[in-house]
Structure 1
């Protein structure tokens, strides 16, 4: 039997999607991130020269420093959501899975409403903590409901449980808001997702947890690859499916809860970034996860920049801009058969 030529074998094993050289697949996302970061620092309703970033005497230095803070937050939030979406999609084997569908956003929102309306809390650090706890609890409830269902902790049961929990928590949040106009006023900007005006010191509350979650997601990459093959194949490869699901689910929740606590519900990032990353490097999570972090950071930074320039001198919140940018991406994914 003749062996296939090396070139033929390489083409057969190449990841589906965009056919680019390996170097281009690695460098293009990094280039996009660098461009997004530069734009985030220098572009807005008022342009800032690069010298304003390092010259404390520059008249626009304060504006430049404020943009540094929001750029750092955009990178952290985007990377966490990109990683979380990739983990959720790998965990559920559902291309539509993202933190919003699996109850994370709804849990964080309800916790924020309760903290403001019922407990009367006004400190931003406490708001962040409440949102993180609410998101984590909601995600745990979703997975527990899926685990006790007839089919057990399966992709379909997790998605259905997530939709049910999201609907229930959203209804409770709405009921509380309708009776408290003051809470609605304080909550409405966080609800649409925002990083403008957020204190970089809030990273001290959830930043270490996000770092741990990001590192653990990379450690679990091989388990995600095994789960993608099905339970029987995963077990044959030495991976315990149930333990792997709980581990990956915990990491995905940790990342999504931290990002949501910092910026509110920023939609479409966790949904679309994994699909864009797969189009570049294929389904292997060892490559997919780092690329998702890079693309997520670039998307949120770019969306925040666009929000500062589309309606000057006002700003459009980053959660609205990611939805506007994400909708064409969603249509693209549908047309390419990726959803």
Structure 2
């Protein structure tokens, strides 16, 4: 490799590393704010005593039993949703892909509503498996709908099929909630995407699946760089397309299913964050995944913090905040000429 090219690659990687370090610092600040900021104002002394001198007071319990688990879950769910979107965009070469836009979250949501409303399940450990099944069914249906008729399943056709199917699945889930009051009561906040009321039991139930999905995504990141060149060229370079896509699909299933089971169908995190990462890093999926792993939690934490502040003493759920931001971003991406393929 020529010396000038080597220097150029080193400079690019140094710039990426500097951006990544800054992103980690922003994430750390958001984690701190998530513990400090809430609908109830707590003094810094109370927050410090909740960790250093815990005596079980109600204010200390708010910090340790509510805000800390909420922050941890936001980090896990944000990372899962962000990486899930990055994987889907890389595999389909569709910059508009996102678990919410393609109906994946809606499929998981319908199956969870059925598990709770019709089967009487109430534990995340039990209905997370239904969320996984819903993700797989939704992905298969979206691809089948997009492939109907002449021509391949283009990014635009995938988008239209996902939006249409997502609306149908959301309607079916709403029907289950109306017929079964138990499901309506349990899912009234979960349905809009909420981090409230989730404790360490929920985190313990979904964290292993999220971790497995993240590891799988990172393992296929290098292969996805080759897949982005096209199937024929990827095969000529020795890429195993079947294994790469199988790993990607399994990763999406674990990440989207676990995140949706835990916090509900929060949308647009997987749409926005990979795009920001791509603008900073370029097309290398390894760097995109690294930035998304940090940016996803940052976005979800920021949305949750804003939701706690804007309607005090009430709260605006994080899924509503991300929708307010993500919908204009989706419209802008659709209007871009370069949004037809990656």
Shorter-normalised TM-score: what interval?
0.7 to 0.9
Distance 2:153 2:240 in 1: 13
Residue in structure 2 matched with residue 85 of structure 1 by the alignment? 85
Kept after mapping to 2: 8 A contact 1:303/1:325: no
Q: Is the 8 A contact 1:275 1:333 kept in 2?
A: no
How far 1:336 moved relative to its partner? 7.9
- Shift in alpha-carbon separation, 1:185–1:302, aligned structure 2, 3 A: same
CA distance in 2, matches of 1:201, 1:215: 22
Q: Shift of the alpha carbon at 1:280? A: 1.3
Task: Out of 74-83 and 314-323, give the one that drifted further.
Answer: 314-323
The answer to whether 1:248 aligns with 2:248 is: yes
Secondary structure of the equivalent of 2:311?
A: coil
Please tell me whether residue 190 in structure 1 is matched to residue 190 in structure 2.
yes
Name the counterpart of 1:55: 53
* 2:38 paired with 1:44: yes
Match runs of 1:78-157 below 5 Å: 78-143=78-143
Secondary structure in structure 2 of the residue aligned to 1:21: helix
Deviation at 1:256, TM superposition (A): 1.3
Distance 1:203 1:151, change over 3 A: farther
Does residue 292 of structure 2 align to residue 292 of structure 1? yes
| Closer, same or farther: CA 130–36 of 1 in aligned 2, 3 Å | same
Q: Which runs of 5+ in 2 are unaligned?
A: none
Where structure 1 has 5 or more consecutive residues not aligned to the other structure, the ranges are none
Q: Which has the higher helix share?
A: 2
Offset, 1:197: 0.8
Q: Deviations over 1:48-69 (max 9, x none)?
A: 5241333203742111112110
Q: 1:114 to 1:184 in 2, by over 3 A?
A: same
Give the superposed CA RMSD.
Answer: 3.2
TM-score normalised to structure 2 length = 0.85
Q: Distance in 2 between matches of 1:123 and 1:4?
A: 59
The residue number in structure 1 matching 2:4 is: 6
How far is 1:147 from its partner? Answer: 7.6
C-alpha distance in 2, partners of 1:147/1:48? 57
SS in 2 for 1:300: helix
With normalisation by structure 1, the TM-score equals: 0.85
- Number of aligned residue pairs: give it: 333
Report the more deviating stretch, 161-170 or 100-109: 161-170
